[in-house]
Chains A and B, each alone.
Chain A
């Protein structure tokens, strides 16, 4: 105990004696503490949100897009696109897709699905309670829940959702809407009204939380099946989704599918334009929303700052250790072991880091007070406290920052110090 006390006293004296060279390091550590906090904050939020389950399953799912021949094309036949034949032709295409080897389930969707190019939201009412929700839909003839594998809030399986019999104006809602509208009671069988109060919807199923972007928090969703295919709907509005057997290799499947289906799916004036893996659609969706860029920039900046500290501390401590070679020699002669010397210098590094960290955090608190944290769409019903609670959030990010700084600084002091300690005390003292 006494030894440690003496050591601390000596270190503090040393820090003070070398305050000029230390102040540079201290200044750098303060700036980096303040700066890296803002780099870690979004990384922390995004990474935390990514641990929340998506709520559905994208693997082995593919999206098929059809096109229609232009009217000017010589191959265009006007009678194939009349109100009757257009639908017949479309259904033949869906049947052919279903029969393709390895297709486990399929569903036709108009407009909105997770990661769709456009989206729509509206408000729903139960008595006086209003909830906003993203609208999704599908044609009830398809195996929607088998393709996307949303899970039921009751037993967390998709099978129980797929079994539900659907009538007109039935809807599925996510658990956050249930919580908001009905508290702890079940929403099943309850009736919701839409914006204009003429439409009344019956809740037939409740889904687990669904995230519409993996870096975000769960969002309220209402899924309304459409009973019949609308004959006037344009081919650009509908997409066909299929789930392949588990473990279908993406690249060979896509190649084989295109090769066969480019000709097989040319029925009437329709033809196959694209098939994309749903994973790729998800990646593109997140990229186009700048999430990928944020992750890349912040990770890059984080590495940049830490490497800078590493270089700065290694450089400075190296020169410092050389300048203090005689001190090191003397300490060794007086009976300090190499471990004790290590401990001595490393404690010096630790004290510097902690001091800088405290000052940096105090500066940062001012910034947070004025600007707040990094936020994605926060959902207080479903979000996780590690992100949504300001105290947890601040503490967690600060701890990460402190640990990162400390590890870097300790590594950076350890390298030059252990090199300096390799010298023989005799040589050093002779230099004197």
Chain B
């Protein structure tokens, strides 16, 4: 029966080329907008190289200290080394705990041997557990060891493309290079990381113990403020709540022991996907607000085109009134007619879906340098010379296809049911009597 519907739908599609193309463009447009949002969040949330453990990872990026007596006094920043050591490295129930030390100011330079050229590099200062928490694939060599980290040995892991740029090949292990007038020995070369995975993006990774200032921290009362972000890998995502509570309890005990200062973690450590939606580091996440604004956006993306399509469908139903009348007169039940109309439209919608998905790919590739941050209030500009690259698997994968199809179905139901129902309600005699 559906084969018959398909044939008929195909004929209709060919018969009324203008209507079909407008319909397909209309659905495609709606679906492409939704898919841009979906792909952006897929890239931000799904397990993507080298952040393949995002689903069982907790993130803690900031804490605030507030005075217990003066309500307007607040200091907020990331964690100091002593806070990380005391409250995070000691976690027994986690699989691994990594800390990354952020350094502000201009990017360091790598000096080439001719002493004239300097290449700016994006560097991440990490510990050795970082290589366990994130799944980098090594092209050559291996990460720096725990011994290297503890002793602050000047070792470095570099990206494949940086190795090629500086040494002309990926086999760079054992060679040295000079960054900001300090020599580093290369211990490993990893596959390039995209800027689309911001927690791991860099061209070079160095133990943070190489820096003089990692222990310094910022001025504050508690000594817990500093420049470190923490990533906790849980054995499974079901452990996350327990570990998160363990951390916040520890900080709560600290608060209880103090007279002057209160520590607030505002819900951190939180699962990776939650950290993606965080706007303010020192204010708890307002989920109702997030849900409200995204559902409003989705509603606008789907409702406006849906009304549009409903209007077109209802105009077309007027044209087909007599056909429907004939089918009804020969005993077709109403639900089978409704099925047919929905099915016909689903074919058009799916064609629109394919067009929309392709269009959203084009938009994403065109806006690759800024589209990932488009929904953010606070954004950091791309470092000079850096491009955001997408790997094919970020865009083309079963999840994205599934989402596209679901969006098609929803849009189809939203737009076709009401006009179809209204026109099917007409009296057979009236329908048969209609012109055309």
* Interface residues in chain A, defined as those with a beta carbon under 8 Å from any beta carbon in chain B: 20-21, 24-25, 27-28, 31-32, 35, 65, 67, 69-76, 117, 236, 258-259, 262-263, 271, 273-274, 283-284, 287-290, 292-293, 296-297, 301, 304-305, 307-309, 311-312, 314-316, 318-320, 322-323
Contacts and interface: CB of A to CB of B under 8 A. Distances in A.
Interface string B88-117: 000000000000000011100100000110
B311 A28 contact: yes
Given A70-B180, A323-B319, A293 B26 contact: no
Given A273-B109, A311-B22, A323-B436, A70 B181 contact: yes
Interface of B: 18-19, 22-23, 25-26, 29-30, 33, 104-106, 109, 115-116, 118, 180-182, 212, 300-301, 303-305, 307-312, 314-316, 318-319, 370, 373-381, 419, 422, 436
Contacts of B316: 319
Given A290-B378, A315-B19, A304 B33 contact: yes
B374 A323 contact: no
Contact of A21 (B109, B118, B315, B377): B315
Given A24-B307, A28-B308, A236 B105 contact: yes
Q: Counting chain B CB atoms within 10 Å of each CB, which of A69, A73, A304 scores highest? A: A304
A32 B304 contact: yes
Nearest to A283: B381
A165 to B, nearest CB: 35
B181 A315 contact: no
B380 A288 contact: yes
A65 B120 CA distance: 14
A187 B57 CA distance: 59
Nearest to A290: B377
A31 B301 CA distance: 12
B212 A70 contact: yes
A25 B313 CA distance: 12
Contact of A315 (B312, B318, B378): B312
B315 A28 contact: no
Contact of A259 (B116, B305, B315, B381): B116
Contacts of A25: 311
A362 B216 CA distance: 59
Nearest to B418: A24
Nearest to A71: B212
Given A35-B300, A262-B118, A21 B106 contact: no
Nearest to A284: B381
B397 to A, nearest CB: 25
Contacts of B212: 70-72
Nearest to A32: B304
A293 B379 contact: yes
A262 B226 CA distance: 32
17 contacts: A20-B422, A21-B311, A21-B315, A24-B307, A28-B307, A73-B181, A273-B106, A284-B381, A288-B378, A290-B377, A297-B375, A304-B301, A305-B304, A308-B305, A309-B308, A320-B315, A323-B318
A296 B18 CA distance: 31
Contact of A288 (B25, B375, B379): B379
Q: Counting chain A CB atoms within 10 Å of each CB, which of B19, B308, B312, B370 scores highest? A: B308
Given A73-B182, A296-B374, A24 B314 contact: yes
Nearest to A297: B374
Contacts of A259: 116
Contact of A311 (B25, B116, B118, B375): B25
Contact of A304 (B25, B29, B314): B29
A263 B312 contact: no
A25 B312 CA distance: 9
Contacts of A24: 307, 310-311, 314, 419
B182 A70 contact: yes
Given A70-B181, A117-B104, 9 more contacts: A21-B314, A67-B180, A293-B373, A305-B304, A312-B26, A315-B311, A318-B19, A319-B315, A323-B318
A319 B314 CA distance: 10
B115 A20 contact: no
A308 B26 contact: yes
A35 B297 CA distance: 10
Contacts of B115: 263
A315 B314 contact: no
B314 A311 contact: no
Given A70-B182, A293-B374, A318-B18, A65 B314 contact: no
A70 B212 CA distance: 9
B376 A290 contact: yes
Contacts of B419: 24
A20 B314 contact: yes
A172 B304 CA distance: 53
A341 to B, nearest CB: 19
A104 to B, nearest CB: 25
A27 B314 contact: no
Contacts of B377: 290, 293
Contacts of A314: 22
Contact of A67 (B104, B106, B300): B106
A323 B317 CA distance: 11
A293 B308 contact: no
B238 to A, nearest CB: 36
Contacts of B182: 70, 72-73
Q: Counting chain A CB atoms within 10 Å of each CB, which of B304, B378, B419 scores highest? A: B304
B433 to A, nearest CB: 15
A9 to B, nearest CB: 24
Nearest to B306: A28
